């Protein structure tokens, strides 16, 4: 294990990325445990308040991201160790910010509401993308032995990624950046009914395709979504309980 870490992580210059990855996961899990204890009113766990003002943890996240980012810029050329420390701080800040991504997106507190699941999605996406980078994959890059100009391949993959994302296939589009064959599948297959692509090309123009997309969504997509929500709620708590959108239950 030590040899693998030394050769695959330190030796390839990925130590800062590894530290960011570990900090992102660790800080997210710690934050979720903390806010769930606050919500349950367990022990001394309470919100952070200054007078009547509630301080969301996204504030601490922004500060840590700024500290970690600027420090990383200063020390990146001096020492991989200190660059890794800066990346670790940046990872903690990123977790705190992404955990309240839904609050930033909606500009009001939806942490425990249905929209709050967007924050968990954002963290999962960040973890997945960082993990793919950590194992050595690079976005939009395909090696076919020099038969086609690499720039042409990158542009083609980017175009397929845009089409896939517009069709509402977020995970296929993001993972496909690293495994381009998924982009081809996602771009060719039918769009999800609520996607921009379906709105532009199905609604009012091709009701048959729209009905087919809805049928596929109900038959295949809904069970997957329910499974994903079950995993999210196991990790981060339920987001479908009644809420008055008051600042309560988290820091």
**CA distance linking residue 12 with residue 6, whole number of Å:** 9
Q: Which tokens sit at 151?
A: 């720039």
**Residue pLDDT, tens place only, 209-234:** 888 888 888 887 888 888 888 888 88
The pLDDT score that the predictor gives to residue 251 is 52
178 domain residue, yes or no = no
**Residue pLDDT, tens place only, 92-103:** 999 999 999 999
Would you say the C-alpha torsion 142, 148, 150, 155 has a positive or negative sign? Answer: negative
Dihedral over alpha carbons 68, 73, 78, 79 (to 10 degrees): 30
The pLDDT score that the predictor gives to residue 147 is 66
Q: What b-and-e string marks burial along 209-245, b requiring 16 or more CB atoms within 10 Å of the CB?
A: bbeebbebbeeebeeeeeeeeeebeeebbebeeebee
127 domain residue, yes or no = yes
156 domain residue, yes or no = no
The reply to whether the predicted model has a pTM over 0.75 is yes
128 domain residue, yes or no = yes
H or E, element range at 29: helix 15-39
Burial of 171 (0-12, 13-18, 19+ CB in 10 A): middle
249 domain residue, yes or no = no
Tally of domains within the chain: 1
| DSSP helix/strand/coil, 250 | coil
Do 80 and 13 form a contact (C-beta atoms < 8 A)?
yes
Q: How many CA atoms are closer than 13 Å to the CA of 124, on its beta-carbon side?
A: 15
Beta strands in 45-112 (DSSP E): 49-50, 53-54
pLDDT of residue 245 exceeding 50: no
Distance (Å) of CA 121 to CA 18, 107, 126, 179, 229: 21, 17, 9, 20, 10
**Range of lowest pLDDT (46-55, 64-73, 83-92, 144-153):** 144-153
pLDDT of residue 195 exceeding 50: yes
- The residue segments making up the domain with residue 99 are 2-136+190-236
106 domain residue, yes or no = yes
24 domain residue, yes or no = yes
242 domain residue, yes or no = no
């Amino acid at each position: 294990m030590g040899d693998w870490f030394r050769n695959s992580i330190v030796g390839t210059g990925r130590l800062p990325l590894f530290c960011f990855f570990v900090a992102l996961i660790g800080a997210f899990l710690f934050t979720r445990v903390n806010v769930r204890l606050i919500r349950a009113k367990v022990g001394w766990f309470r919100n952070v308040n200054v007078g009547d003002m509630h301080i969301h943890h996204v504030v601490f996240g922004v500060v840590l991201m700024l500290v970690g980012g600027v420090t990383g810029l200063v020390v990146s050329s001096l020492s991989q160790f200190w660059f890794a420390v800066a990346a670790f701080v940046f990872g903690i800040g990123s977790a705190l910010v992404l955990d309240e991504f839904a609050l930033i997106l909606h500009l009001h507190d939806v942490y425990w509401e249905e929209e709050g699941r967007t924050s968990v999605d954002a963290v999962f996406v960040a973890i997945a993308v960082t993990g793919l980078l950590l194992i050595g994959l690079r976005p939009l890059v395909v090696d076919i032995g020099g038969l086609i100009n690499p720039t042409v391949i990158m542009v083609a993959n980017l175009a397929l990624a845009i089409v896939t994302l517009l069709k509402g296939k977020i995970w296929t589009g993001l993972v496909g950046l690293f495994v381009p064959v998924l982009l081809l599948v996602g771009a060719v297959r039918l769009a999800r009914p609520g996607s921009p692509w379906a709105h532009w090309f199905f609604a009012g123009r091709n009701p048959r395709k729209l009905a087919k997309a809805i049928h596929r969504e109900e038959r295949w997509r809904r069970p997957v979504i329910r499974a994903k929500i079950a995993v999210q709620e196991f990790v981060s708590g339920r987001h479908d309980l009644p809420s008055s959108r008051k600042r309560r239950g988290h820091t």
